[in-house]
């Protein structure tokens, strides 16, 4: 599912319980990373749950992110981060105001502080990967 579809679905759902279920469903749809990719190098520091992010370079210098987590809601957040940033050039990734986007869809206000910190850590990791490839 692309980010616009995710955003539209979240905006349609009024109830936060329904939104949480939707986020969990997104995580369930996210392909599991192979065990060999769940390494220290791909682990996102700053998340209470285990989170891994992997980036692949595609055609025309576009980046594709893949991720996984051992926690259901966090895996859904990983799916949203992957959808937001994948298939963009490093510059496009860096120009994406992720915190504003997540605020706009109302995601930040209903996350525990630990999950919000983990989400920030994921976003920081994506930006770091894009900066490394933009150089």
Which residues belong to the active site?
Answer: 47
- Answer whether 69's CB lies under 8 Å from 27's CB: yes
> Is residue 62 within 8 Å of residue 88, measured between CB atoms?
yes
Residue 64's SS3 state is: strand
What is the rounded CA–CA span in Å between residue 46 and residue 121?
6
Q: What is the DSSP letter of 97?
A: -
Residue 110 DSSP code: G
């Amino acid at each position: 599912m692309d980010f616009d579809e995710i955003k539209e679905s979240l905006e349609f759902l009024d109830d936060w319980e329904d939104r949480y279920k939707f986020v969990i469903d997104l995580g369930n749809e996210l392909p599991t990373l192979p065990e060999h990719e769940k390494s220290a190098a791909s682990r996102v520091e700053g998340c209470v749950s285990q989170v891994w992010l992997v980036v692949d370079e595609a055609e025309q210098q576009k980046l594709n992110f893949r991720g996984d987590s051992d926690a259901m809601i966090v895996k859904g957040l990983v799916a949203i981060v992957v959808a937001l940033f994948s298939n963009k050039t490093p510059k496009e990734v860096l120009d994406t105001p992720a915190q504003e986007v997540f605020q706009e869809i109302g995601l930040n206000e209903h996350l525990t502080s630990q999950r919000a910190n983990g989400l920030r850590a994921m976003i920081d990791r994506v930006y770091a990967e894009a900066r490394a490839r933009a150089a």
